[in-house]
Chain A
Amino acid sequence: DTEVTQTPKHLVMGMTNKKSLKCEQHMGHRAMYWYKQKAKKPPELMFVYSYEKLSINESVPSRFSPECPNSSLLNLHLHALQPEDSALYLCASSQGSAGMVSGANVLTFGAGSRLTVL
């Protein structure tokens, strides 16, 4: 069983809907990430939170809005998405971020939320 839990596993939404993806970890990790993965492509980084502060936004459109309520939770709020946003959205966590030894940088992924935008 994965130690990073994502909900929902599947989500279908219209272009005018507002929905949220949720991610939770209880490993005491201080860095959390959102990745987007399209079929037959590698994961593509969207956002990084380090110690509950947004440290990286990879020029993601504003229709994706991340939120880190506390060190264990990470949300991704979705609004006015486009069909091309359909993908697997992966949450990950690691012990820390920059400047730490290799082991602390290992990413643990959740099982993902598979999003379909109609």
Chain B
Amino acid sequence: RKEVEQDPGPFNVPEGATVAFNCTYSNSASQSFFWYRQDCRKEPKLLMSVYSSGNEDGRFTAQLNRASQYISLLIRDSKLSDSATYLCVVRYNTNAGKSTFGDGTTLTVKP
């Protein structure tokens, strides 16, 4: 079983749709959680950190459920510019400096 598993996608949605991505992790010692966005042939960039209380940044909402070892990302009112690959990242403080990436979920928003 992979340490971090994401919905494989791809997700193809119309503009204005709401889309949700899920991610599960296997190591209960995980301490830090993130969603990164990667555009084609570009580097990953931090979209948002994920906190236990859940957090929101504009149209984006991230949730963490430690009991179920599950992270989610909700995108409301999708824009064409949201088209990208979304990477779930989990970091274990028991292993200095190692962040584990999910395989990524590709989103295409169509007009």
Which residues on A are within 8 Å of B, measured CB to CB? 2, 31, 33, 41-45, 48, 50, 55-56, 90, 94, 97-100, 102-103, 105-112
B56 → A minimal CB distance (Å): 16
Chain A residues lying within 8 Å of B43, measured Cβ to Cβ, are 2, 90, 109-112
When C-beta atoms are compared, the residue in chain A nearest to B89 turns out to be A107
Q: Are B102 and A98 in contact (CB under 8 A)?
A: no
What is the interface of chain B, defined by CB distance below 8 A to chain A?
A: 31-34, 36, 42-46, 49, 51, 87, 89, 91, 93-104
Cross-chain contact of B97 among A50, A90, A102 (Cβ < 8 A): A50
The closest CB in chain A to the CB of B102 belongs to: A42
Residues of B within 8 A of A111 (CB): 42-43
CB contact under 8 A between A55 and B103, given known A102-B51, A107-B46, A111-B43:
no
Contact in complex: A56, B87 (CB < 8 Å): no
For residue A33, which residues in chain B have a CB less than 8 angstroms away from its CB?
97
Expressed in whole angstroms, the Cα–Cα distance for A36 and B37 within the complex equals 17
25 contacts between A and B (CB under 8 A): A2-B43, A31-B97, A33-B97, A42-B102, A42-B103, A45-B98, A45-B100, A48-B96, A55-B97, A56-B97, A56-B98, A90-B43, A94-B97, A97-B97, A98-B97, A99-B93, A102-B33, A102-B49, A105-B91, A106-B34, A106-B46, A107-B99, A108-B46, A109-B45, A112-B43
